[in-house]
Structure 1
Amino acid sequence: MLSILAFCLLVQLYYVLFIHLKLANAKIEEIPLSARKPCSVIICARNEMANLEQYLPTILNQNYPEFEVVVVNDRSWDGTEEFLEAWEKKFSNLKVVKILDNDKFIAGKKFAVTMGIKAAKYDWLVFTDADCTPASENWLMDMQQPVNEDVDILLGYSPYLKRRGLLNALIRFETFFTAVNYLGFALKGMPYMGVGRNMAYKKSLFFKNKGFAAHMHIPSGDDDLFVNAHASKYNTEIRLHQDSHVWSEPNRTWSGYLKQKKRHFGAGKLYKAKHKFILSLQIIFQFLFYGFFAGCMFLSREAQYIAGGILLLSIIIRSFVYPKLLKRLNYGDLRWWFPILDILLFLFLTLNGFLAMFGKKKVNWK
């Protein structure tokens, strides 16, 4: 059992030292001083009037010479339609696309995103959500199309706003590890997902690959499944500058968070085989690490001391990597809690995995 525990630690250290440490040490480039090409920002909204009223101005007033904001109103009934109609008259760079109830199409966010992409004027598309706000007015300047024309996909970072309570700490910690993984693997040359709250890609790439046709039947995946299918080490870059982060409102209830994670769990099943393997390996060996550590507590006193030393070594090594990453990714307040949150997150995600497998299958995006 001690040998297996030690082997699990070695597997964990691969991710910590060769993936996550690479991100911790990555150089953050300065934001460009000028714009290269115009772009279209796409936001899908379903009953988001309050969020649009609060956050849409931060999008419309970006420090960028030529851009449009395409807001797709997906069958809202909370006053969103009237709000957007009024704002469309005030802002020349705001374009509103309205989706009506119709049994002829499959409702869902992917349809809304597709309608927004079709309506977009420019080839470079930047995506965010209605409940999001950029960290600065230079967000678009950093998320613009890179100088390298071969780059088709740009992966940004979107932290959640700090609120009180354990749920908020857990949500932010889970978001942190998700970001560390997908940004770290992208730096390693194996991009496997992106987050729709802050990412960009070419309109031509979308239509060249028939959009979401391959996974239209899955409620989620407008962001991660699209990136998983079409990103490579040659056509994908990441953005880490603090001014290009996009802050988002977190779930306020456990049920809402569980529903969100259930959607993400369904999308992960369609990842490429190599990505599912390396991500599953990460989760399995984390599960085995804690499982065999618990098992060692029933062995001799000497074995307990050795197991405790292995656990302590794991914590010490990660203590040199994750606090730096937490600060870099705007979660510095969590750095003193990460060993505890790491265990709580593992238990929560394990529980959520079982609930997702045996719970109700139908999940809507809003």
Structure 2
Amino acid sequence: MNFNELLAHWHSIVFIIFCIVAFIQIFYYLFFYTRLAFYKAKPKATSQTHPVSVIICARDEAANLAKNLPGSLLQQYRTTHEVIVVDDNSFDDSKYLLEEFKKEFKQLTFVELKQEAKLIPGKKFPLSIGIKTAKYEIVLLTDADCVPASEFWIDKMQETYDDDTEIVLGYGAYIKKHGLLNKLVRWETFHTALQYFSYALAGKPYMGVGRNLSYKKTVFFRHKGFSAHNNIPSGDDDLFINMAATKKNTKINIDKDAFTLSEPVTTWGQWTRQKTRHYSTGKYYKPLHKFLLGLYSLSHFLFFPLLMVSAIFYCWQWALIVFGIRFVIQAVIYLPAMKKLNEKDLYPLFLFFDLWMFFYYLIFAVALIKKPTNTWK
């Protein structure tokens, strides 16, 4: 068949490409995402509690510390633990607020940094100081704008550890509020978690979120901390996990008592800056992870345009059959996955969110080539 004949059958070729793209999407749902949707934590034969160091880095976060820090300080945890706040060159009243908290909570330690680490932009230097200050092997990380979802957060997160486990990935949810932006923020957070939890369960962990993440100091120092990517302002969570996590040393925890909650952004500009900062680190992932994530995103991006072209120019019945198969698989997987992450209210709108992802990829594609900013707030 020559080029002119191929051109004459272009609509058939588009439909074939559409079927290939749909197959790729379905493969990801069935091979990866079913793992989270139908995940059940294995009961442990023995239970052991470990000393834990909670670490929070803060810069000009007095208001958030006043509101959220008590959630970490008032945890019901029967084993030794400490809460370390690293005050990174704040100009507000964080120091005085922490001094007052220290009078009431003896488990609180705060480290005041008075000089910038010129060659280490972002959060990595204060976080490294916090980890080096920690007395205990297990460190549990969160942010100043986060609050534990329950008083058993420390207990539930550390419960995941066994002799082989060095990293525990938790879920950092956003508080539910009215409005479209809130739903889009929570959808994107759910969709990202669906990916990184499922990949971890498939033995290919590639990231975690600093809002709720735990690992052992041993694995941190074995990989020389953040030295491999100290020049990159962001990535203190995902780039470190991408480097250090393996099939054997990483577990997930999706117990609702182990979640953290954060105030979501309230403007589109804030959200765009936040996500751009996150996606600017994706180019530094391991090649396999970049390939898997990139193939999924590309197929997701192409799905709806190819669906429209196939329905208009080829055969709308066949196009709808392919769409329907993918839709049913999504519906079966999304419901239990959303229940597990306490995002069930998003389920009736999942088709809208799925279509929204086409525009989402357009908006944030530039972040993949953009140089990361030099701030961590």
Q: TM-score range by the shorter chain?
A: over 0.9
Question: What residue number does 1:323 align with?
Answer: 335
Shift of 1:283: 0.6
Query: Which sections of structure 2, spanning at least 5 residues, go unmatched?
Result: 1-13
Question: What residue number does 2:123 align with?
Answer: 109
Q: Write the letter of the residue equivalent to 1:166.
A: L
Query: Which sections of structure 1, spanning at least 5 residues, go unmatched?
Result: none
Matches of 2:372 and 2:254, distance apart in 1: 35
Matches of 2:346 and 2:122, distance apart in 1: 35
Matches of 2:111 and 2:223, distance apart in 1: 23
2:208 to 173, 194, 199: 194
1:310 aligns with 2:302: no
Contact residue 146 and residue 262 of structure 2 kept, 8 A: yes
TM-score (norm 1): 0.94
1:43 aligns with 2:66: no
Shift of 1:350: 2.2
Matches of 1:100 and 1:133, distance apart in 2: 26
Matches of 1:222 and 1:115, distance apart in 2: 13
1:152 to 149, 166, 178: 166
Matches of 1:10 and 1:358, distance apart in 2: 28
Q: 3-state DSSP class of the match of 1:197?
A: coil
Question: What residue number does 1:261 align with?
Answer: 275
1:338 aligns with 2:359: no
Matches of 2:199 and 2:150, distance apart in 1: 26
For this pair of structures, how many residues does the alignment match? 363
Shift of 1:360: 6.9
Question: What residue number does 1:64 align with?
Answer: 77
Q: 3-state DSSP class of the match of 1:207?
A: helix
In the superposition, relative to structure 1, how do residues 175 and 314 fare at CA in structure 2: closer, same or farther (>3 Å)? same
Contact residue 34 and residue 141 of structure 1 kept, 8 A: no
Question: How large is the RMSD of aligned CA atoms in angstroms?
Answer: 1.9
Matches of 1:282 and 1:104, distance apart in 2: 37
Matches of 1:135 and 1:200, distance apart in 2: 16
Question: What residue number does 1:3 align with?
Answer: 16
Deviations 1:11-44 (A, max 9, x none): 1111111211111111135799965221100001
Question: What residue number does 1:244 align with?
Answer: 258
Q: 3-state DSSP class of the match of 2:82?
A: strand
Matches of 2:116 and 2:359, distance apart in 1: 41
Question: What residue number does 1:15 align with?
Answer: 28
Shift of 1:341: 1.0
Q: Write the letter of the residue equivalent to 2:174.
A: Y
Matches of 2:42 and 2:212, distance apart in 1: 17
Q: Write the letter of the residue equivalent to 1:94.
A: L
Contact residue 32 and residue 142 of structure 1 kept, 8 A: no
Matches of 1:250 and 1:218, distance apart in 2: 24
Shift of 1:349: 2.8
1:173 aligns with 2:184: no
Larger Rg: 2
2:38 to 14, 22, 25: 25
In the superposition, relative to structure 1, how do residues 136 and 208 fare at CA in structure 2: closer, same or farther (>3 Å)? same
Q: Write the letter of the residue equivalent to 1:132.
A: C
Deviations 1:337-357 (A, max 9, x none): 001011113312321213x25
Matches for 1:206-217 after TM superposition, within 5 Å: 206-217=220-231
Q: 3-state DSSP class of the match of 1:229?
A: helix
TM-score (norm 2): 0.91
Question: What residue number does 2:104 align with?
Answer: 90
Q: Write the letter of the residue equivalent to 1:177.
A: H
Matches of 1:335 and 1:70, distance apart in 2: 38
Matches of 1:30 and 1:80, distance apart in 2: 42
Question: What residue number does 1:362 align with?
Answer: 373
Q: 3-state DSSP class of the match of 2:90?
A: coil
1:282 aligns with 2:296: yes
Matches of 1:59 and 1:307, distance apart in 2: 52
In the superposition, relative to structure 1, how do residues 107 and 220 fare at CA in structure 2: closer, same or farther (>3 Å)? closer
